Structure 1
Amino acid sequence: MYKVYGDYNSGNCYKIKLMFSLLGATYEWVPVDILNGETETVAFLAKNPNGKIPVLELEDGTCLWESNAILNFLAEGTPYLLTEPRLRTQMLQWQFFEQYSHEPAIAVARFIEFYLGLPQERLEEYRVLHKRGYKALKVMEHQLMRTPFLVGEHFSIADIALYAYTHVAHQGGFDLTQFPAIEQWLERIRQQPGYVGMLD
């Protein structure tokens, strides 16, 4: 039995929850309260010395961390992990985009508003993150105007990775109504067999 250490409101943790649901696989969820410092305990740091969630603990006690790396592990041998070299590279391309261009803007803006309540001292940072976040959303919109999923016709872990924070971007103040292709893509993902919502 796999164990997932995470927070249900975290998009990075939701990626793993959604992946397990799509696979129809069972696992144990171990809640971690990031605001109360539970990722900084000695016990947690023994699982992930970087002190972040999610962490996937395997049956032999080995721990894997970094959400997109865990997605690649769980999707091995399934249709969600594209194997043709060009397609797999494009899939990885979107996962790197998510971690370097999308998540640092959209997830952090959401954290400032949804978790912290938009404190005055972080308003300027919040505005800067919006500029960067909208740029990332435009990149996605450009692709999704041409193809139903981020890697052409193939629903993959690239979509799972980017769905996680995009579908709750409004909680960080982002207006998705100006991105119709993204909105249609979000609905296509919600229609996938085995789909589960963030708080379901």
Structure 2
Amino acid sequence: MLSQLHCFAQSGNAYKAALMLELCGEPWEPVHVRFFEGAARTSEYAAVNEMAEVPVYSDGRVRLSQSGVILDYLSHKHRCFGAETEAERLEILRWTLWDNHKLTANIATARFMQLYLAERHRNPDVIAFLMGRARAALGVLERRLEARDWIVADRPTTADLSCAGYIWFLEEIGLEPAPATAAWRDRLAAQPGWKHPYELMPGHPFEAAE
């Protein structure tokens, strides 16, 4: 059977897993989760993931949620984009946790509030706060990449794929990648098998709530 990934096109977290599957060459099929219609909050979906989130990956042997866990599993399964030393393993973990807490969290929430939340519920002060935190996190990433091609090693690892989850969505909310980040994004896009999130996962285009 084909591996499956519960996902939708607007999710950068799901994109991390989808891109990893493509780059590792694993055949898979998307299962479209109509997240904005409340599909992840149903009792049926709770049987898939009690956390009510995407992505969820299954290959007949395991069912996994949380993008960092999926990236780690696929890295070991395919022996790709992983650590070669204990020091690299810890650095990959460090940057993956930072991404989920600082980079992805702020970009994703700011984007959700600007594009997908009903306009009457959008709070300009909250959005401005989140955008400030997103810019600060992007600054950390930029400084990391100014003197190196990849975040952890001399090659791309799952740390790069994790931090790249929302990097192709920046312009949608008025953010621009700084020079080193833009060059890193181009290097990722040059990897064999790379596809944009809107090409990889179902649900695009999306009509924003009014």
Q: Relative to structure 1, is the Cα distance of residues 19 and 123 closer, same or farther in structure 2, using a 3 angstrom cutoff? A: same
User: Given that residues 109 and 173 in structure 1 are in contact (C-alpha distance below 8 angstroms), is that contact kept between their aligned partners in structure 2?
Assistant: no
The 2-side partners of 1:118 and 1:194 are apart by: 37
CA RMSD of aligned residues (A): 1.5
Normalising by the residue count of structure 1, what TM-score does the alignment of the two structures yield?
0.93
The 2-side partners of 1:146 and 1:69 are apart by: 28
Corresponding residue pairs, total: 197
User: Given that residues 4 and 28 in structure 1 are in contact (C-alpha distance below 8 angstroms), is that contact kept between their aligned partners in structure 2?
Assistant: yes
Q: Does 1:63 align with 2:63?
A: yes
Alignment partner of 1:35: what SS? helix
Q: Relative to structure 1, is the Cα distance of residues 118 and 95 closer, same or farther in structure 2, using a 3 angstrom cutoff? A: farther
Alignment partner of 1:165: what SS? coil
Q: Which runs of 4+ in 1 moved over 6 A?
A: none
The 1-side partners of 2:172 and 2:43 are apart by: 32
Counterpart amino acid of 2:127? Y
Q: Relative to structure 1, is the Cα distance of residues 85 and 118 closer, same or farther in structure 2, using a 3 angstrom cutoff? A: farther
Alignment partner of 1:167: what SS? coil
Alignment partner of 2:50: what SS? coil
User: Which one is further off, 110-119 or 184-193?
Assistant: 110-119
- Stretches of structure 1 lacking an aligned partner (at least 5 in a row): none
The 2-side partners of 1:198 and 1:110 are apart by: 15
Alpha-carbon distance, 1:70 to partner: 0.5
Match in the other structure for 2:191: 192
Alpha-carbon distance, 1:118 to partner: 5.5
Normalising by the residue count of structure 2, what TM-score does the alignment of the two structures yield?
0.89
Alpha-carbon distance, 1:58 to partner: 2.7
User: Which one is further off, 26-35 or 163-172?
Assistant: 163-172
Percent identity over the alignment is 26
Map 1:31-110 onto structure 2 (within 5 A): 31-60=32-61, 62-76=62-76, 77-110=78-111
Alignment partner of 2:123: what SS? helix
